[in-house]
Structure 1
Amino acid sequence: MTVFGFAGQNIRGMKAPQFPEGLLWFNSPPLTLEKLQKQGQVVLIDFWTYSCINCQRTLPYLKEWWQKYQDKGFVLIGVHAPEFEFEKDPHNIAQALEKYGVIWPVVLDKNYQIWNLYDNHYWPSEYLINPQGIIIYAHVGEGNYQQTELKIQEALSLEEAGIPLIGEVSTEVFQMGQTPELYCGYLKGALGNMEAYQKDKNHHYKTKTPEENLEPDLIYLEGVWKAKAEYLEHPRKTEKLEDTIILPYKAKKVYLVMESTSDKSIKVYVTLDAVSLTDESAGSDIKLEEEGPYAKSFIDVSFSTLYNLVNTATFGDHILRISTKEPGLRAFAFTFGN
């Protein structure tokens, strides 16, 4: 979950809390703020989690700041605070760091120790710490990249050095009527089916409402699914596409966090408004295959992460259907963009 704007009102101007010992670090031996302060370093802490689309969109800016300022007394530390259970897995995190090109130090905060010390509430969030160990700036969400970089330059006493600021790319702003983030598991989710979630067991769901009368912004299930606290799992192998997640939504872009519990990738078929996706409507992770006279759109789910399903040219109302024949698919959360 993310919001956009300034944060840290309760913590700005305070001494930055030290990191707990014994946490797992990537791309670096364990770092301490105390030692970095003695070295006169400026530190930017970025709270993130790798399957968050908002976090992913901040990575190019973080990467540029790391490249521009790491030899000028600047240290960037990613605090990976997992939203979902699979994001606690060090192997998954290592894969994600390679996939998304994260080369700066990252610490795994799987029990939210650092998160709580900083009274943080959202992904992504940034906290800038001066060489005296004081939090001098904080920001939540995407955007304001030039202002953040100006604060970095000021902390490094580089505001007069003529270093060009990063180009500000327009952020995806939530549009009126856009479908909000939707969780699939019963802990935070909601089903449109009359029987609601049947918790922690295989259940054959039925959508009795005609498709054109489905309520928007609710997840509907057809066929056999297992509802867990964090996710919906497809528990059986079928010959045909009998088991489906149906979602009426309003947006241009659709993302879904998914994982495969199988030792091989799972093919997940996606349709939009009862037809397969095309080059004009397919998200970046969609593949197209020819099967007989028809093209089918699908995603190979292997790595546990966020997948881009849909990217239509215009903002509007649609019905998304997701199906698979294989057991072991888990669906965690839908997010949307414009």
Structure 2
Amino acid sequence: MTAPARLPVEGPLPALDGATAWLNSAPLTPAGLRGTVAVVQFCTFSCINWLRTVPYVRAWAEKYRDDGVTVIGVHSPEFPFEHDEQEVRSALEGMGIRYPVAIDDDFAIWRAFDNAYWPALYFVDVEGRVRHHHFGEEDYERSERVIQHLLRESGVGDVDEGLVSVTPDGVHLAADWADLRTPETYTGYARATGFAGPGGLRLDRRSVYVAAERLRRNDWALVGDWTVRARATTLDEPGGRIVHRFHGRDLNLVLAPGAEGPVRFRVRIDGGLPDDARGLDVDEQGEGSVVRPRLYQLVRQRQPIADRTVEITFADAGVEAYVFTFG
């Protein structure tokens, strides 16, 4: 796949001056970026869709840096804990992200771009014009060809026309799209779907939930003493469970620890130990701990992929559950 012979002009690079902070760089501006090819990506650190793009964008930043390409991350937070600059800094450092990142806590840059997606890529030429964009994952070859096209257009000679060699693993591994049949599932009532527990969700009040008699594919339920709020669901007493019937290779859950510190959990799949279907954040006994707010990979099935029921039991109170994602 190659970039088109000509790329349309989509408009000028919007202002970047709404950032509340910058990581890895002094504040950048459209005027200061003139003369360089820029790649701007919107992200939020617990988003699985963005996490799966990280190896590619990081590799582009390294490969084309000496050719005059500036990769810029714009961190626009989805969840409350993603407003914590230290958590953002720690998460990005852990992924080896060394290119400039604008902290967009107030969504000022998001609005300036009229953006609506995590992740979203915008490709900017040396004259400060947006020439291409891509929303979501994948399309990596075309995106890199666009970078090469803009470099050649700017007069850079001997642009390496090869593609970066990337071997993603862990949470960065691309989804098994052909066998993925469960959509992301929010536990906060503002976006919750698929709840199948008796009596439904009780909003903004502490309630005791009992086990559902039966879960169909893509159903989920709570067991124990929980408070369901708009953005997240919080466990009020130790021993609570979340159960989900899903179809996909991976099951992830965005979690945050309680005010009292780390929260221990245990994972069971179809009632037994996860064994070789355990995710990165689960040990041989199906146990793990929520230490920091982030995405936790709880299940990674081997082929063949089948409908499975995962049950996560929390030994400590205070955990906040945000969204299930799948791969």
Note whether the superposition's TM-score is higher than 0.5.
yes
**Pair 1:156 & 2:146 matched:** no
CA distance in 1, matches of 2:212, 2:26: 56
CA distance in 2, matches of 1:139, 1:297: 38
Letter in 1 for 2:91: A
- Aligned equivalent of 2:201: 197
1:74 corresponds, among 69, 75, 88, to: 69
* Secondary structure in structure 1 of the residue aligned to 2:67: coil
Preserved contact between residue 145 and residue 168 of structure 1 (Cα < 8 Å): no
1:106 to partner: Cα distance: 0.4
CA distance in 2, matches of 1:159, 1:299: 51
CA distance in 2, matches of 1:29, 1:174: 39
Query: 1:155-201 CA deviation, whole Å, 9 max, x = no partner?
Result: 12257533421247794353366110000111101321232221222
Letter in 1 for 2:312: I
1:286 corresponds, among 269, 282, 287, to: 282
1:107 to partner: Cα distance: 0.7
- Aligned equivalent of 1:185: 188
Query: 1:200-248 CA deviation, whole Å, 9 max, x = no partner?
Result: 2221011352xxx3232122111111111111111123xxx4x211111
* Secondary structure in structure 1 of the residue aligned to 2:141: helix
Q: For residues 266-285 of structure 1, what are the structure 2 equivalents within 5 Å?
A: 266-278=263-275, 280-285=276-281
* Secondary structure in structure 1 of the residue aligned to 2:289: strand
Change (3 A) 1:325 1:22: closer
* Secondary structure in structure 2 of the residue aligned to 1:60: helix
CA distance in 2, matches of 1:177, 1:79: 29
Of 188-197 and 178-187, more deviation after overlay is shown by 188-197
Of 157-166 and 142-151, more deviation after overlay is shown by 157-166
- Aligned equivalent of 1:84: 79
Change (3 A) 1:311 1:176: closer
- Aligned equivalent of 2:248: 251
- Aligned equivalent of 1:321: 311
Identity in percent? 30
Query: 1:140-159 CA deviation, whole Å, 9 max, x = no partner?
Result: 12222122111111212257
Structure 1's unaligned 5+ residue stretches are 1-10, 289-295
CA distance in 2, matches of 1:26, 1:319: 41
1:303 to partner: Cα distance: 1.2
Change (3 A) 1:22 1:257: closer
- Aligned equivalent of 2:3: none
CA distance in 1, matches of 2:297, 2:289: 12
* Secondary structure in structure 1 of the residue aligned to 2:211: coil
Change (3 A) 1:202 1:154: same
Preserved contact between residue 184 and residue 219 of structure 1 (Cα < 8 Å): no
- Size of the alignment, in residue pairs? 310
Q: Please, what TM-score do these two structures have when normalized by structure 2?
A: 0.89
Preserved contact between residue 78 and residue 105 of structure 1 (Cα < 8 Å): yes
- Aligned equivalent of 2:119: 124
CA distance in 2, matches of 1:282, 1:146: 31
CA distance in 2, matches of 1:71, 1:161: 11
Preserved contact between residue 153 and residue 159 of structure 1 (Cα < 8 Å): no
Q: For residues 155-234 of structure 1, what are the structure 2 equivalents within 5 Å?
A: 155-157=150-152, 158=156, 160-167=158-165, 171-172=174-175, 174-175=177-178, 178-190=181-193, 191-209=195-213, 213-234=214-235
CA distance in 2, matches of 1:244, 1:336: 19
CA distance in 1, matches of 2:30, 2:282: 43
Letter in 2 for 1:196: G
Q: Please, what TM-score do these two structures have when normalized by structure 1?
A: 0.87
Of 256-265 and 182-191, more deviation after overlay is shown by 256-265
**Pair 1:63 & 2:58 matched:** yes
- Aligned equivalent of 1:303: 292
Letter in 2 for 1:199: L
